[in-house]
Amino acid sequence: FSTGYSSVHGERPSAEYAKLRKESLESQFGVALGSKSVSIFYRFGPFLALYRAAIISFHVLKLTIWHFFVRDVKKRAVKFCRTLILLGPFYIK
């Protein structure tokens, strides 16, 4: 914690107070952002990014193959739209 922080009573916060405050907030509002469950989720961040990249690469490859073998533009457009819908709004960015 910051050395410049002081409580409303003029005291420096203790580790015990911080623990009690965190437990109080978690019981009132749910799991805190700095808790173990969130840190476990972020530990797998690089793997999730590689997974998303693999999915996108697969669909790009599939659309590329469609581009070479299907000459009908409307069929390709329909396939492209379905692929974007399948990937979801996160991938459209």
- Residue 6 banded pLDDT, cuts 50, 70, 90: low
User: Nearest 10 degrees: CA dihedral of 5, 32, 17, 12?
Assistant: 0
| HSE value, Cβ hemisphere, 13 Å, CA-based, for 38 | 6
- The whole model's pTM is what? 0.43
Evaluate if residue 59 carries a pLDDT over 80.
yes
Evaluate if residue 35 carries a pLDDT over 60.
no
Write down the residue that tokens 């009132």 correspond to: 28
Sign of CA dihedral 15, 17, 20, 23: negative
**Residue 23: both structure tokens together:** 């437990």
